[in-house]
Amino acid sequence: MTETMARKSTAHTSIDFDRPGKQVGFIDIPHSPHEDAWGATRIPLAVIANGSGPTVILQGGNHGDEYEGPITLGEMIRELDPGKVSGRIIVLPAVNIPAVLAGRRTSPVDGLNLNRTFPGDPGGTITQQISAYVSDVIFPLGDAFVDLHSGGSSLNILPSAIVEPAPDPEHRRRNIAAVLAFGAPLTVVIDNLGEPRTSTATAVRAGLTTVGTEMAGAGTVSIDALGICRRGVRNVLGHFGVLAPPVHAGGQAPGSQGILKIPGRDGYVLAGCDGVFEPFHPLGTNVRAGEPAGRIHNLGDPARAPEVLEYACDGIVYGRRQPGRVVSGNCCVTVAAPYEGDIA
């Protein structure tokens, strides 16, 4: 059936969002590259519904080089019994399918980063059409949104659940409660320096209770992070009442680190030149502003002294560059510091 949207689009799906049971199919977006005159880009989609209850949207593969989310959601599509659901789960396990199949952060079709295109353009490029469909069709169906990320091929990040800030205090409370229920080892507030074009920022504007994650990265599948992701998705579905709460899950109370936040631009240590970055501290290390974070070596000019980078704030080493080669402006280290905002 063709979807009715506020903005005209050629995207369509045969899935009936209102039908109970489990449906697995695709969103088809007409696409006519050199190799295919009348083809389509096919975005995997599943709907698992039963009885009454809220609608939770689960998304993975926003970036194609982040693997724990798509693996977890693919397993859920195959294994979840609809009879155990109270409400509806809409699953987009590989939403940026061109990037997922290429193992790239950005789409090989148009070079765009899906997570910087929301709310999208139904008449734009493939990436813009994907974000428009999510914004215009999927988000209005939902009560909550879970977007599963990792550090991808350029960063390794401590496994964590992410709070997307919301200007309304009650909405912010809902977001934090859901993120804590996910049960990740760390909870971090990340506002992407106020970037409004992400899926989570757009979900917040749509009124959805919103949960993000960062599940390790470094271009690999982390055994530990995958376990956290699998448990966390079921924990948060239990929190919303769509699944029965896991027997041993009570959510996560802020631990010894409390709730953290990347404190704006000071939380990012950027390369000032091209070369190879040598980090000075492993993930989780407590560091202070002014302390050396690492140095960049010019391997082609051994007489040139390395450029030393410094932390601009106190906190813990939350994310670190992977691989070693950098160009000026690359993020080499990310620091998270205690969150001082309201959590109630």
By DSSP bridging, strand 87-92 and strand 39-50 are antiparallel
d(CA 96, CA 86): 28
Query: Burial letters for 240-269: b for 16+ Cβ neighbours within 10 Å, e otherwise?
Result: bebbeeeeebebbeeeebebbbbbeeebbb
Residue 6 lies in a domain: no
Provide CB contacts within 8 A for 161, sequence distance 6+.
Answer: 179, 180, 182, 183, 184, 186, 187, 188, 211, 212, 213, 232, 252
Burial of 219 (0-12, 13-18, 19+ CB in 10 A): middle
Helix (H) or strand (E) holding 333: strand 331-338
In a domain, 66, yes or no: yes
Q: Identify whether residues 128 and 215 lie together within a single domain.
A: yes
**CATH number of domain containing 177:** 3.40.630.10
Segment 89-105 shows an average pLDDT of 97
Domain that holds residue 41: 12-260
95 shares its domain with 161: yes
Final residue of a domain: which of 260, 283, 298?
Answer: 260
pLDDT of residue 342: 67
The yes-or-no verdict on residue 177 having pLDDT over 90 is yes
| Integer Cα distance of 55 and 39 in angstroms | 31
Residue-wise pLDDT tens digits, 293-338: 999 999 999 899 999 999 999 999 999 998 899 999 999 999 999 9
Do 211 and 289 belong together in one domain? no
Q: Does residue 1 fall inside a structural domain? A: no
- The per-residue pLDDT for 9 is 87
Task: Give the CATH number for residue 313.
Answer: 2.40.50.100
Q: Give the pLDDT score at 245.
A: 87
SS3 133: helix
CA distance 285 to 148: 25
